Structure 1
Amino acid sequence: MTLKRLLLDERKEGEAVGEARGEARGIVKGKIETLFGLVQDGLLSLAEAARRAGLSENEFLKAAHGDNDNNV
């Protein structure tokens, strides 16, 4: 296998990993936005929304307000 082919394969693998990470982050962000909307509408308590997201209430609020986009 040539160096050019190896580099191309590594680039494609890196792109696939980046795409999967982006998709996962989008799913988590969408879930948090949905839960936060339910909290704002008074249909779900903050504690329950945080529990469903697997976060503390403080972490949930930070994520809902976009304070830690790199960690969501």
Structure 2
Amino acid sequence: MLGCVEGNVWVAFDVGTDGKVYDARVVRSLLPDFDIEAIKTVCALGKFVPGADTTNNPATVTLTVPILFKIR
């Protein structure tokens, strides 16, 4: 049993010009099992509005988000 565990798994991912999530990866781990679930969560977020370049054309962007876990 893990006991009390609380913290963030930081996940970086690309949002393509189609708004879909690509290349989700853990950049700061908490525990291996949490890392897997954090990547699943990011991939399940659905579509995003694509980013844009300086000429307002769709562009791939990289985001990094924390996924918070609290096990008590």
Report which of the two has the higher share of strand. 2
Q: What's the TM-score, normalizing by structure 2?
A: 0.28
Report which of the two has the higher share of helix. 1
Structure with larger RCO (C-alpha < 8 A, sep 6+): 2
Q: What's the TM-score, normalizing by structure 1?
A: 0.28
Q: Which is higher, the Rg of structure 1 or of structure 2?
A: 1
